[in-house]
Structure 1
Amino acid sequence: MRRRSVLILAAVGLAAIGVGMAPWTLADDHATRQISKYVNALTGLRLEVRGAVTLAVLPAPRIKFDDIVLSTADGATQVVARQLRGQLQLAPLLSGRFVLADAALVDPVARAGDARISGERIWSGLLAQFAGIYRRASSGAPHLNRLTVIGGTVTDAGGERPLAGNINATLAWSSPDAALSLSGNAIFSGQPVQFSLGGLTPRAIAGGGDTDLTVRLASEPLNIDLRGALTDGGRRFDGKTRLTAASISRMDEWLDLRLPLTGVATALAIDATCSLTARGMALTSATVDINDSVLEGALSLRGVENGWSLGGTLATDDLDLSQAPGLARQLGAVMTSPERWRAWDIDLRVSAGRLQLPDAPTVSNAAASLLLRNGRLEAVLGMAETLGGRVKGRMTIIPASSNGVEIRAQASGDSLAASQLSTWLSGSERISGNLSGAFTLETRGATMAELRLRLDGRGHAQMGEGELSGISLTDLASQKNGPVELAKMRGKTRFSSLRANWSLTGGHVMIDEALIQGAAGNLRLAGSMDADGVLALDGDLTTGAGPEAAKQAARFQLSGPWQAPIITPRLPAADSAEPRSP
Structure 2
Amino acid sequence: MAEVATTASISPQPPRRQVTRWIAAFGFLAIFLSMTVAAVPWLFSTNVLRNEIIAQIRRMTGLIAISQGHAVFVVLPQPHISIDNIRFADPSGALRIDAAYLKGYLRVAALLQGRLEIASATLGEPEMVINLDGRPMPSDSAIGRAANAKSSSPQATSADEARLGVVSLVDGSARLTTSLGDGDLWIDAINVTLDWRKLGAAANLTGTVRFRGQSADIAAIVDRPTDLMRGEQSALSLKVNGPALSLSAEGNLASAPKAQFTGRIFASAPSLRQLVETGGYFVELPAPFQDFALTSDASIGASGASFSNLRLQLDGNAYEGALAVMMGQDKPILSGTLATSDLSLRPFLANLSPALGRDGQWSHDAFDLDEENFADVDLRVSAARLALPGIELEDAAFSLMNQKQRLDIALIEARAYQGSVKGRASFAKTGAGLAMHGSAVFSGVDAAGVWPNSIESWKVEGALTAAGNVESTGANMSELMRNLNGHAQIALERGQIGGINLDQALRWIDTRPLGLADDIRYGGTGFDELGLSLRIAKGVAEIEDGRMRGRNLALGFGGSIDIGERALNVHATATTAGGEVKPGAERPKFSFDLAGSFDDLALIPDARSLIRQSGAAAPLFSSAPDGVKPTSSVEAH
CA contact 1:26–1:55 (8 Å) conserved in 2? no
The answer to whether residue 149 in structure 2 is matched with residue 149 in structure 1 is no
CA deviations on 1:306-364 (whole Å, 9 max, x unpaired) are: 44333222223x12326x5473325889973564424x23322111222224x332211
Q: Which residue of 1 aligns with 2:383?
A: 352
CA contact 1:482–1:568 (8 Å) conserved in 2? no
TM-score, length-scaled by structure 2 = 0.71
- Whole-angstrom distance in 2 between the partners of 1:279 and 1:551: 77
The answer to whether residue 123 in structure 2 is matched with residue 105 in structure 1 is yes
The answer to whether residue 396 in structure 2 is matched with residue 366 in structure 1 is yes
- Whole-angstrom distance in 2 between the partners of 1:43 and 1:59: 28
CA contact 2:342–2:386 (8 Å) conserved in 1? yes
Aligned pairs for 1:74-85 (under 5 A) are 78-85=96-103
Displacement of 1:111: 3.5
Q: Which residue of 1 aligns with 2:533?
A: 500
Rate the CA distance shift 1:337–1:524 in 2: closer, same or farther, 3 A: same
Q: Which residue of 2 aligns with 1:341?
A: 373
- Whole-angstrom distance in 1 between the partners of 2:207 and 2:251: 21
Rate the CA distance shift 1:430–1:75 in 2: closer, same or farther, 3 A: closer
- Whole-angstrom distance in 2 between the partners of 1:503 and 1:417: 24
Letter in 2 for 1:363: L
Displacement of 1:33: 4.5
CA deviations on 1:268-315 (whole Å, 9 max, x unpaired) are: 332223334444333222233446654332222333444433322222
* Aligned partner of 2:439 among 410, 431, 435: 410
The answer to whether residue 597 in structure 2 is matched with residue 577 in structure 1 is no
- Whole-angstrom distance in 2 between the partners of 1:454 and 1:219: 51
Q: Which residue of 2 aligns with 1:565?
A: 602
Displacement of 1:79: 3.4
Q: Which residue of 2 aligns with 1:328?
A: 350
Larger radius of gyration: 2
CA contact 1:525–1:540 (8 Å) conserved in 2? yes
Rate the CA distance shift 1:151–1:484 in 2: closer, same or farther, 3 A: farther
- Whole-angstrom distance in 1 between the partners of 2:520 and 2:564: 22
Q: Secondary structure at the match of 2:350?
A: helix
Letter in 2 for 1:56: V
Rate the CA distance shift 1:31–1:563 in 2: closer, same or farther, 3 A: farther
Aligned pairs for 1:432-443 (under 5 A) are 432-443=461-472
Displacement of 1:366: 0.9
Displacement of 1:553: 6.4
CA contact 2:273–2:288 (8 Å) conserved in 1? no
- Whole-angstrom distance in 2 between the partners of 1:249 and 1:334: 25
* Aligned partner of 2:293 among 263, 269, 277: 269
The answer to whether residue 485 in structure 2 is matched with residue 457 in structure 1 is yes
CA deviations on 1:93-133 (whole Å, 9 max, x unpaired) are: 6788654322222222334548xxxxxx68x999x999737
Aligned pairs for 1:6-155 (under 5 A) are 28=47, 30-49=48-67, 51-73=69-91, 78-89=96-107, 99-111=117-129, 113=131, 132=144, 134-135=146-147, 138-139=158-159, 143-155=163-175
* Aligned partner of 2:421 among 366, 375, 391: 391
CA contact 1:433–1:463 (8 Å) conserved in 2? no
CA deviations on 1:23-67 (whole Å, 9 max, x unpaired) are: 989754x54445445445555544333644444333333233333
- Whole-angstrom distance in 1 between the partners of 2:548 and 2:136: 77
* Aligned partner of 1:184 among 207, 227, 241: 207
Rate the CA distance shift 1:75–1:242 in 2: closer, same or farther, 3 A: closer
The answer to whether residue 209 in structure 2 is matched with residue 204 in structure 1 is no
Rate the CA distance shift 1:305–1:80 in 2: closer, same or farther, 3 A: farther
- Whole-angstrom distance in 2 between the partners of 1:144 and 1:338: 55
Displacement of 1:480: 7.3
Letter in 1 for 2:408: E
Displacement of 1:214: 0.9
* Aligned partner of 1:252 among 258, 272, 276: 276
CA contact 1:338–1:404 (8 Å) conserved in 2? no
Q: Secondary structure at the match of 2:275?
A: helix
Provide structure 1 residue ranges, at least 5 long, that are not aligned to the other structure: 1-9, 115-120
- More displaced stretch, 406-415 vs 481-490: 481-490
CA contact 1:272–1:283 (8 Å) conserved in 2? yes
Displacement of 1:367: 0.9
Letter in 1 for 2:554: G
Q: Secondary structure at the match of 1:251?
A: helix
- Whole-angstrom distance in 2 between the partners of 1:405 and 1:54: 73
- Whole-angstrom distance in 2 between the partners of 1:562 and 1:468: 17
Letter in 1 for 2:593: F
- Whole-angstrom distance in 2 between the partners of 1:320 and 1:310: 19
- Whole-angstrom distance in 2 between the partners of 1:426 and 1:486: 20
Q: Which residue of 2 aligns with 1:5?
A: none
Rate the CA distance shift 1:327–1:552 in 2: closer, same or farther, 3 A: closer
CA contact 2:294–2:313 (8 Å) conserved in 1? yes
Displacement of 1:181: 0.8
CA deviations on 1:199-219 (whole Å, 9 max, x unpaired) are: 421243355655322111122
Letter in 2 for 1:146: V
- Whole-angstrom distance in 1 between the partners of 2:405 and 2:557: 45
TM-score, length-scaled by structure 1 = 0.77
- Whole-angstrom distance in 2 between the partners of 1:76 and 1:192: 26
CA contact 2:398–2:410 (8 Å) conserved in 1? yes
- More displaced stretch, 36-45 vs 496-505: 36-45
- Whole-angstrom distance in 1 between the partners of 2:558 and 2:44: 100
Q: Secondary structure at the match of 1:354?
A: strand
- Whole-angstrom distance in 2 between the partners of 1:83 and 1:444: 67
Aligned pairs for 1:293-312 (under 5 A) are 294-312=318-336
Q: Which residue of 2 aligns with 1:469?
A: 498
The answer to whether residue 563 in structure 2 is matched with residue 543 in structure 1 is no
Q: Which residue of 2 aligns with 1:422?
A: 451
Letter in 1 for 2:165: N
CA contact 2:462–2:496 (8 Å) conserved in 1? yes
Aligned pairs for 1:219-238 (under 5 A) are 219-230=242-253, 236-238=260-262
CA contact 1:261–1:331 (8 Å) conserved in 2? no
Q: Which residue of 1 aligns with 2:616?
A: none
- C-alpha RMSD of the superposition: 4.6
Count residues with an aligned counterpart: 547
- More displaced stretch, 432-441 vs 566-575: 566-575
Letter in 1 for 2:173: T
Q: Which residue of 1 aligns with 2:18?
A: none
Q: Which residue of 2 aligns with 1:554?
A: 591
Letter in 2 for 1:151: D
Q: Which residue of 1 aligns with 2:560?
A: 527
- More displaced stretch, 417-426 vs 380-389: 417-426
Rate the CA distance shift 1:338–1:32 in 2: closer, same or farther, 3 A: farther
- Whole-angstrom distance in 1 between the partners of 2:381 and 2:44: 69
Provide structure 2 residue ranges, at least 5 long, that are not aligned to the other structure: 1-28, 149-155, 355-364, 610-623, 632-637
CA deviations on 1:184-229 (whole Å, 9 max, x unpaired) are: 1122232221111114212433556553221111223322211123
